[in-house]
Amino acid sequence: MGKRLAGKTIVITGASSGIGRSCALEFARTSPKDLRLILTARRDDKLKEIAEEIKKEVGEGVKVLPFKLDVSSPEEVRGFVGNLPEEWRNVNVLVNNAGLVKGVAKAPEIEEADVKVMFDTNVTGLINMTQAILPILKKRADGGAGDVINIGSIAGREPYPGGSIYCATKAAVRAFTDALRRELIATRIRIIEIDPGQVETEFSVVRFYGDKSKADAVYAGCEPLTPDDIAEIVVFTAGRRENVVIADTLVFPNHQA
Ligand code: NDP
The amino acid at residue 201 is: T
Mutation probe of ligand 1 site: the residue of 45, 67, 69, 97 with most atoms within 8 A of C-beta: 97
Alpha helices for the chain (secondary structure H): 2-5, 18-30, 44-58, 74-83, 112-118, 126-138, 164-183, 203-207, 212-218, 227-238
Distance CA 23, CA 5 (A): 13
Give me the pLDDT at residue 141, please: 56
Instruction: Tell me: pLDDT of 147 over 70.
Output: yes
pLDDT grade for 1, boundaries at 50, 70 and 90: low
CATH of 2-198+226-256, one of 3.40.630.10, 3.40.50.720, 3.40.50.150, 3.40.50.970: 3.40.50.720
Helix or strand holding residue 122 (H, E): none
HSE (side-chain half, CA atoms, 13 Å) at 52 = 6
Instruction: Tell me: pLDDT of 222 over 90.
Output: yes
Cβ–Cβ under 8 Å, residues 34 and 117: no
Residue ranges covered by each domain of the chain: 2-198+226-256
What pairs with residue 11 in β-bridges? 38, 94
Distances (CA, A) of 85 to 55, 107, 254: 20, 44, 44
pTM of the model: 0.97
Ligand 1 pocket member 163 (CB < 6 A): no
3-state helix, strand, coil in the chain (%, to 5): 50, 15, 35
Instruction: Tell me: pLDDT of 225 over 60.
Output: yes
Q: Does the structure's ipTM exceed the value 0.95? A: yes
Give me the pLDDT at residue 143, please: 64
With 0-12 / 13-18 / 19 or more C-beta atoms within 10 angstroms meaning exposed / middle / buried, residue 11 is buried
Question: 66 versus 141: which is more confidently predicted?
Answer: 66
Ligand 1 pocket member 169 (CB < 6 A): no
Distance CA 12, CA 63 (A): 14
170 catalytic per annotation:
yes
8 catalytic per annotation:
no
Q: What is the pLDDT of residues 89-122, one digit of tens each?
A: 999 999 999 999 999 999 999 999 999 999 999 9
pLDDT grade for 3, boundaries at 50, 70 and 90: confident
- 78-103 CB burial, b ≥16 within 10 A, e <16: eebeeebeeebebbbbbbbbbbbbbb
The amino acid at residue 237 is: T
Helix-helix angle 227-238:18-30, to 10 degrees: 50
Ligand 1 pocket member 194 (CB < 6 A): no
Give me the pLDDT at residue 139, please: 86
- Could you identify the atom of ligand 1 that is nearest to the CA of residue 196? 43
Distance CA 150, CA 152 (A): 6
Q: What does the CA dihedral 129, 135, 136, 138 come to, rounded to 10 degrees? A: 130
Give me the pLDDT at residue 162, please: 95
